[in-house]
Amino acid sequence: MRSLPLPLSAVALAVALAPVAPAQAAALPAIQIVKIYYNSPGSPDNGANASLNGEWAQLKNTTRRAINLRGWTLRDKTNRPDHVYRFGAFTLGAGKTVTVRTGKGRDTATTRYWGRAGGTFAYIWNQTSDTGYVHNPTGKLVDSCSYNSSRVEWVDCR
Ligand SMILES: [Ca+2]
Ligand SMILES: [Ca+2]
């Protein structure tokens, strides 16, 4: 029987789909970035508040206890101070998620607003590749999530 050479892409796909032996389950970060929706619906992204709020990052308290997020930060890969979201008084319940939207709005128990404005330069999450970072108030990196694809609009970081 003759074996046909597989196209490289098929080989790559097979490798990507190969089951990976589960390593020792690593402890989840207490506050985990679960999803970044980095390409706001619509094209081109017009920088309006609704569009800015169409991009967001969702964080989850993976623990069994409420966590006071005051002083915790969410940031992107730039080192810009205006690209750092700092939580004010806010407690995230055990197992709960909070969505941090880029634009302006009224904070709720489940949604917080970065408060950015200024059109197309106000977006935080790059449309192809970027990294989200969560730091606790002492500056310790608690979780990060990188993505690199313009084919989809969001990344599942779990
Ligand atoms: Ca878009
Ligand atoms: Ca960015």
Is 141 contained in some domain?
yes
pLDDT digits (tens, 9 = 90+) for 2-31: 555 555 555 555 555 555 555 566 789 999
Mean pLDDT by runs of 10 across the 158 residues of the chain is 54 56 74 98 95 98 98 96 97 98 98 97 97 98 96 94
Q: Ligand 2 centre from 132 Cα, in Å? A: 9
Q: Ligand 2 centre from 12 Cα, in Å? A: 29
Domain of residue 142, residue span: 27-156
Is 8 contained in some domain?
no
pLDDT digits (tens, 9 = 90+) for 31-48: 999 999 999 999 999 999
CATH number reported for the structural domain that contains residue 51 in this entry: 2.60.40.1260
- How many domains does the chain contain in total? 1
Q: Name the residue type at position 35.
A: K
Neighbour tally for 102: CB within 10 Å: 26
| Residue 120 DSSP class | G
* Lookup: tokens for 7: 């196209």
| Residue 44 DSSP class | S
Q: Which ligand is nearest to the CA of 133?
A: 2
For the four alpha carbons of 140, 142, 145 and 146, in that order, the dihedral sign comes to positive
Residues in contact with 69: Cβ distance below 8 Å, sequence separation at least 6, in sequence order:
31, 87, 90, 91, 92, 98
The pLDDT score that the predictor gives to residue 26 is 73
Is 135 contained in some domain?
yes
C-alpha closest to that of 124 among 72, 31, 53: 53
